């Protein structure tokens, strides 16, 4: 068995074990923040339960731009503390999950020497604050360098560019690795079990009631805890409402949309930063056989399970891309996939979505529940550490040191190049790189096509629905030809065998995945768009 394996095939046993159980800490929300909190607390010896309403990383934590930022954008905002924290946390994530941190240069085109000088001044300060070592510092490109190194860029209006290293990640897999690490240290976790009631005694929250929403069942579990943390991301306010019916919303949700095109249509080998119509920066990011473009940043007050991708989102991203590159203009027919999500930002009156601070905040509700919101993917580990420090204080425990910055996550104990080289002997290099980026040292276990990935997803990564595998564990929904529709029947059949599904259930699961894809592309011009 793999360390921290999540195998929920005996789901009734998991819920039975939870019912009536008591813990030091109950974490509500299985995104990267909640998973990070559960891991840190379990590693410090606390008894921990982590509960998630849907699948782990089903919300914001699988819909990001998939970047581990060093914090350069915070320089412009004058937030030096965030710069230092982001740089430090980037190093930590690279140390504990090398397979989930892919270094790539970010290229900022510049139209004149003054722009280059301004960028260099900011980068020098950024590198000094972040302790960036020599060899990973920025470099200046001439216009000829741009034309030679990234020939797809329209360099006709450029003096040159500045390039500096940043990191890309697999956000959902980073979340799952933290969940599995928590389990390896004794945490009890369950998915598809939303909180329906907060249990309060003498004015203090002492536990929750969970509903089992999988398979249309009506089972419930009642659990108690000394401290409860609300890390539900975009659903933080809903949980706050269960604690206090008069609670006013604290979050402002911002929608982020990404488009995926074939690498052949947008051939970049580095992440290219582009200017959008509203002066924001958007990115063109290379990923295997594809390039993804993102992101938007607009307030979104509607249902946020799968935020609607509308015509303006698509036009906004295509417009910025076509303006920067000298390729034949991208259109709807070039979009092979798209995803959307929302950022749970702490509301700031009078500011646009892109102006709102990405700082995290922790609040204590009237019944004593700690709620954490805001923050960035890069800083999830440090956010979790601060929350667990507070939990120890609340339960009267002597402070202990966090161990999460140096202990490898599941799959992180490897030499990335060595494992990739070994796999490349039996498969195309791009496929070997994809598997190592998703599974790390466990890549050989997932090698063998969609069936092998599905088995690994169910027996090691806690998948219970086909969507869990297709979207969040294998990445096939967004980064495979035509949305990997051909793989769905194969994956569905394997899940049916492992989870004892009927033919009708299997067909329903496949249809649900196809609906996700169809809905995400519904705003495209259907007479020309890819299907």
Please tell me the distance from the alpha carbon of residue 377 to that of residue 304, in angstroms, as a whole number: 19
In terms of C-beta density within 10 A (0-12 exposed, 13-18 middle, 19 or more buried), how is residue 516 classed?
middle
Rounded to an integer, the average pLDDT of 370-377 is 92
What residues does 204 pair with on adjacent strands? Answer: 201
Give tens-digit pLDDT for 464-501: 999 999 999 999 999 986 657 889 999 999 999 999 99
Q: What pLDDT does residue 355 have?
A: 53
Give tens-digit pLDDT for 288-302: 999 999 999 999 988
Please tell me the distance from the alpha carbon of residue 68 to that of residue 103, in angstroms, as a whole number: 9
Residues in the chain: 531
Put residue 187 in one of left, alpha, beta given phi > 0 → left and psi -120 to 50 → alpha. Answer: beta
Residue 530: pLDDT band with limits 50, 70, 90: very low
| CB atoms inside a 10 Å sphere around CB 323 | 13
- Cα-only R_g, the chain: 23
What residues does 164 pair with on adjacent strands? Answer: 106
Residue 531: pLDDT band with limits 50, 70, 90: very low
Please tell me the distance from the alpha carbon of residue 346 to that of residue 358, in angstroms, as a whole number: 8
pLDDT above 90: residue 304: no
In terms of C-beta density within 10 A (0-12 exposed, 13-18 middle, 19 or more buried), how is residue 407 classed?
middle
Give tens-digit pLDDT for 332-364: 999 999 999 999 988 655 555 565 566 788 999
Put residue 275 in one of left, alpha, beta given phi > 0 → left and psi -120 to 50 → alpha. Answer: beta
SS (H, E, C) 372-433: EECCCHHHHHHHHHHHHHHHHHHCCCCCCCCCCCCCCCCCCCCCHHHHHHHHHCCCCHHHHH
Give tens-digit pLDDT for 256-295: 999 999 999 999 999 999 999 999 999 999 999 999 999 9
Backbone φ, ψ for residue 298 (5° rounding): -135, 145
CB 495 within 8 A of CB 502: no
Considering the segment(s) 96-168+252-346 as one domain, its CATH architecture is: 2-Layer Sandwich (3.30)
Q: What pLDDT does residue 527 have?
A: 43
- Residue 531: C-alpha distances to residues 377, 460, 516 (Å): 32, 32, 13
Q: What pLDDT does residue 135 have?
A: 84
Give tens-digit pLDDT for 138-149: 999 999 999 999
- Residue 406: C-alpha distances to residues 71, 186, 378, 399, 412 (Å): 21, 19, 16, 19, 11
Stretch(es) of the chain classified as CATH 3.50.50.60: 11-61+172-250+355-394
Give tens-digit pLDDT for 147-175: 999 999 999 999 999 999 999 999 999 99
For residue 252, give the DSSP letter. E
Give tens-digit pLDDT for 184-233: 999 999 999 999 999 999 999 999 999 998 877 678 999 999 999 999 99
Q: What pLDDT does residue 31 have?
A: 98
Rounded to an integer, the average pLDDT of 23-31 is 99
Mean pLDDT, the chain, integer: 93
What residues does 256 pair with on adjacent strands? Answer: 341
**Least confident range of 228-232, 374-378, 383-387, 392-396:** 374-378
In terms of C-beta density within 10 A (0-12 exposed, 13-18 middle, 19 or more buried), how is residue 396 classed?
exposed
Helices (H), 162-264: 171-184, 236-243
pLDDT above 80: residue 70: no
Backbone φ, ψ for residue 282 (5° rounding): -125, 165
The owner of tokens 């009890």 is: 188
Rounded to an integer, the average pLDDT of 47-70 is 96
CB 345 within 8 A of CB 356: yes
Pull the structure tokens for residue 389. Answer: 């420090």
Rounded to an integer, the average pLDDT of 366-386 is 95
Backbone φ, ψ for residue 371 (5° rounding): -115, 130
Q: What pLDDT does residue 187 have?
A: 98
Please tell me the distance from the alpha carbon of residue 156 to that of residue 205, in angstroms, as a whole number: 62
Stretch(es) of the chain classified as CATH 3.30.9.10: 96-168+252-346
SS (H, E, C) 122-179: HHHHHHHHHCCCCCCCCEEEEHHHHHHHCCCECCCCCCEEEEEEEEECCHHHHHHHHH
- The percentage of residues in the chain with a pLDDT greater than 90, rounded to a whole number, is 81
Residue 44: pLDDT band with limits 50, 70, 90: very high
User: What pTM did the predictor assign?
Assistant: 0.95
Pull the structure tokens for residue 46. Answer: 């606390």
Rounded to an integer, the average pLDDT of 96-102 is 95
Q: What pLDDT does residue 81 have?
A: 78
Angle (CA) 388-391-394 rounded to 5° is 155
Element (H, E) at 28: strand 22-28
pLDDT above 90: residue 130: no
Q: What pLDDT does residue 529 have?
A: 46
Pull the structure tokens for residue 289. Answer: 């056989």
pLDDT above 90: residue 316: yes
| Cβ neighbours of residue 32 closer than 8 Å, sequence gap 6 or more | 57, 61, 171, 174, 175, 178, 377, 380
Q: What pLDDT does residue 86 have?
A: 85
- Domain 11-61+172-250+355-394, CATH homologous superfamily name and number: FAD/NAD(P)-binding domain (3.50.50.60)
| Cβ neighbours of residue 167 closer than 8 Å, sequence gap 6 or more | 67, 68, 69, 70, 90, 93, 94, 101, 102, 103, 104
């Amino acid at each position: 068995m793999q360390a921290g394996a999540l195998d929920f095939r005996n789901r009734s046993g998991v819920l039975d074990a939870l019912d009536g159980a008591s813990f030091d800490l109950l974490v509500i929300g299985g995104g990267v923040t909640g998973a990070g909190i559960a891991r840190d607390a379990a590693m410090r010896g606390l008894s921990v339960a982590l509960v998630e309403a849907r699948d782990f990383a089903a919300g914001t934590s699988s819909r990001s731009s998939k970047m581990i930022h060093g914090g350069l954008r915070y320089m412009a905002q004058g937030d030096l503390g965030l710069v230092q924290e982001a740089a430090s946390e980037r190093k930590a994530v690279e140390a504990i999950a090398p397979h989930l941190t892919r270094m790539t240069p970010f290229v900022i085109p510049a139209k004149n020497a003054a722009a280059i000088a301004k960028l260099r001044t900011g980068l020098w300060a950024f590198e000094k604050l972040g302790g960036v070592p020599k060899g990973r510092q920025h470099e200046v490109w001439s216009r000829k360098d741009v034309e030679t190194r990234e020939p797809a860029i329209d360099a006709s209006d450029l003096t040159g560019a500045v390039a500096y290293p940043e990191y890309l990640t697999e956000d959902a897999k980073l979340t799952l690795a933290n969940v599995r690490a928590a389990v390896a240290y004794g945490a009890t976790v369950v998915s598809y079990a939303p909180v329906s009631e907060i249990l309060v005694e003498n004015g203090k929250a002492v536990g929750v009631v969970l509903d089992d929403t999988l398979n249309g069942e009506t089972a419930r579990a009642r659990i108690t805890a000394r401290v409860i943390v609300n890390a539900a991301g975009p659903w933080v306010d809903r949980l706050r409402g269960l604690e206090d019916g008069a609670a006013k919303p604290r979050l402002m949700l911002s929608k982020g949309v990404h488009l995926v095109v074939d690498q052949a249509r947008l051939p970049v080998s580095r992440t290219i930063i582009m200017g959008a119509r509203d002066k924001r920066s958007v990115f063109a990011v290379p990923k295997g056989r594809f390039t993804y473009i993102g992101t938007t940043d607009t307030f979104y007050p509607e249902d946020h399970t799968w935020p609607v991708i509308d015509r303006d989102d698509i036009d906004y991203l295509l417009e910025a891309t076509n303006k920067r590159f000298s390729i034949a203009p991208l259109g709807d027919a070039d979009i092979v996939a798209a995803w959307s999500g929302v950022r749970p930002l702490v509301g700031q009156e009078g500011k646009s979505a892109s102006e709102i601070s990405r700082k995290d905040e922790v609040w204590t509700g009237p019944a004593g529940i700690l709620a954490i919101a805001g923050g960035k993917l890069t800083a999830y580990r440090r956010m979790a550490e601060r929350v667990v420090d507070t939990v120890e204080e609340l339960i009267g425990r002597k402070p202990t040191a966090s161990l999460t910055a140096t202990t490898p996550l599941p799959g992180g104990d490897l030499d990335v190049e060595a494992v990739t080289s070994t796999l490349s002997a039996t498969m195309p290099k791009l496929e070997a790189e994809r598997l190592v980026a998703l599974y790390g040292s466990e890549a050989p276990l997932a090698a063998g096509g969609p069936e092998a990935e599905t088995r690994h997803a169910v027996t090691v990564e806690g998948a219970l629905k086909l969507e869990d595998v297709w979207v969040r564990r294998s990445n096939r929904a967004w980064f495979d030809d035509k949305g990997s529709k051909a793989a769905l029947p194969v994956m569905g059949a394997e899940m049916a065998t492992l989870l004892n599904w009927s033919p009708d259930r299997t067909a329903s699961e496949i249809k649900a995945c196809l609906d996700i894809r169809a809905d995400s592309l519904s705003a495209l011009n259907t007479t020309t768009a890819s299907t």
